[in-house]
Structure 1
Amino acid sequence: MSALIENAKTVALVGNGPVSSVAAGEIDKADVVVRMNRAQLCGVAGTRTDVLAINDIVRARNFGRIGSPINPLSVRSAREYWLYKRLDTDDERVGRPIVYLFPETYKRASADLLRHAPDDTVRIIPSIGALTLRYVLDNSDADIQLFGFTHQGDHMHLWDIEGRWMRELADGERVRYCSKGGDAVRQPPLVIMQLQARRLLNHIRNGRF
């Protein structure tokens, strides 16, 4: 279980969709900040990353590689990794505690989504955002703030169903969509990500990682 969220009062889940320009301060004020996959908005929509939650596709291509498309600011500052499941690689080489979201959280999130799907739906693959939301709901009493959740992306996920489930949760007391208004903050250009990666590599070479 994640040691970070156990006693947290607020957890910010930050997706990679556009985020309001007024959101940075709100994100960084949360007790725990969880960013997804490549975490492109770290540095422009808040600067903190306590947890980096990564799906298997992003992980297989980029996990632990300097200069990868995963935002180096998040790689450097993350205190925990939440991963889909254990692969054959040596996950512990990253030097952070690791939480695996499969199979328990995966099963619960899938069941949640199936309840919102047409009757003939046999199987649903939850996104990393759905998995992290389900994990926090199950393992913490914290209020959950959603940023940059646009419910669109890879075709393997049924985004309309995920959106329906999350909006239903947001009608309750614990989950809410945050920071409407203001200018939209979007993913920084690739050149900025590359410069950040070079800075991180220099920190590692100089023993400051």
Structure 2
Amino acid sequence: MARRTIMIVGNGEVPEGAAATIDAADVVIRFNDCRSVGAGGTKTDIVAVCNTGRPALAMLGGGRWKNSAAVRQSREIWCVRSAEKFAGMRAALAETHPDLDDFCDDYTAGFESFAVSTGRAHRIISVAAHEQLDGDLAQFAPTPYVVPSSGMVVIADVLSGFASADDDIVLAGFGHAGWALHPFGAERRYVDALVAEGRLRRLSSSSSDLSQGA
């Protein structure tokens, strides 16, 4: 297989002037409502969705998400959260975080139905991938957390099998900040370690880096 550039674009700030570089990638992965579209280019091959709780319900309700330009051009929908994993978390969360009573509600079937009816591929990231990621993050002293971020789950999944050894995996729009119950500090340290190992790289605003990402 020819070497590909796989661009994983989070919903955070992207480097100035990065849009053309992102759009030139062989595969572009975006998240949920694809807020990265615009400054982060427009090409969207895969939309990775948080398929449980309120974010999932909001995306599936009405037609705004389904009819958005990014989703319409995508060829795959990835459900980031394993129903098996989240069902197993429900009882413990009821004790520790009773305010998250709908956090584990699973809407995978809705995303699968949408994908099938519109001719898109659909996949679910496995429970094994979640558990491996939890183990990997444990090495980076995470503060107590509920689950890793969707972005980190996708990064781990791409590294563990979707990408080949020769692929260039590039991150943009990852500020490692947001919901307090994601382990963003540990995720940043883990990604920094992966960058140091040469397994992926961050897209910067330097012209040399942008040209490498094309």
State whether residues 51 and 78 of structure 1, in contact with CA within 8 Å, keep that contact through their aligned partners in structure 2. Answer: yes
Runs (5+) with no aligned partner, structure 1: 1-5, 183-209
Instruction: Give the 3 Å change call, closer, same or farther, for CA 7–66 of structure 1 in structure 2.
Output: farther
Could you tell me how far 1:9 is from its partner in structure 2?
1.6
- The residue that corresponds to 1:103 in the other structure is 127
Confirm or deny that 1:41 pairs with 2:66.
no
Query: Which of the residues 59, 69, 72 maps onto 2:68?
Result: 72
Identify which of 44, 52, 62 aligns with 2:47. 52
Q: CA deviation at 1:10?
A: 1.3
Which residue identity does 2:170 align to in structure 1?
A: Q
Rounded Cα–Cα distance in structure 2 between residues aligned with 1:71 and 1:114: 39
Partners of 1:114 and 1:62 in 2: CA distance? 31
The separation in 2 between residues aligned to 1:175 and 1:29, in whole angstroms, is 17
Percent of matched pairs sharing the same residue: 32
Q: Map of 1:18-167 to 2, 5 A cutoff? A: 18-55=13-50, 56-57=52-53, 58-63=55-60, 65-68=62-65, 72-83=68-79, 84-86=81-83, 87=106, 89-94=109-114, 95=116, 96-117=120-141, 125-139=147-161, 140-141=163-164, 142-167=167-192
**1:10 corresponds to 2:5:** yes
Q: Secondary structure of 1:82's match?
A: strand
SS in 1 for 2:153: helix
Q: TM-score, normalised by structure 2?
A: 0.73
Question: Within 2, Cα distance between the matches of 1:152 and 1:126?
Answer: 12
Q: Quick check: 2:18–2:39 contact (8 Å CA) kept in 1?
A: no
- The answer as to whether partners of 1:110 and 1:124 remain within 8 angstroms in 2 is no
Letter in 1 for 2:58: R
Q: Paired residues, what number? A: 174
| Structure 2 residue runs without a partner (length 5+) | 84-105, 208-214
Partner Cα separation in structure 1 for residue 148 and residue 2 of structure 2: 26
Alpha-carbon distance in 1 for matches of 2:67, 2:131: 29
Inter-partner Cα distance in structure 2 for 1:180 and 1:149: 14
Deviations, residues 112-158 of structure 1 (Å, cap 9, x unaligned): 1112116xx67651111111101110112222100010000111101
Query: 1:53 is paired with a residue of what secondary structure?
Result: strand
Structure 2: distance between partners of 1:110 and 1:7: 31
Give the direction of change, closer, same or farther, for the CA distance of 1:49–1:85 in structure 2 (3 Å limit): same
Question: Which deviates more, 170-179 or 143-152?
Answer: 170-179
Name the SS of the counterpart of 1:20 in structure 2.
Answer: coil
Name the Cα RMSD after superposition. Answer: 2.4
CA contact (8 A) 1:116 1:164 kept: yes
Q: Give the secondary-structure state (helix, strand or coil) at the position aligned to 1:34.
A: strand
When you count helix as a share of all residues, which structure comes out higher?
2
Q: Tell me what 2:197 maps to.
A: 172
Question: After alignment, is 154-163 or 40-49 more displaced?
Answer: 40-49
Aligned CA distance change for structure 1 residues 35 and 7 (closer, same or farther; 3 Å)? farther
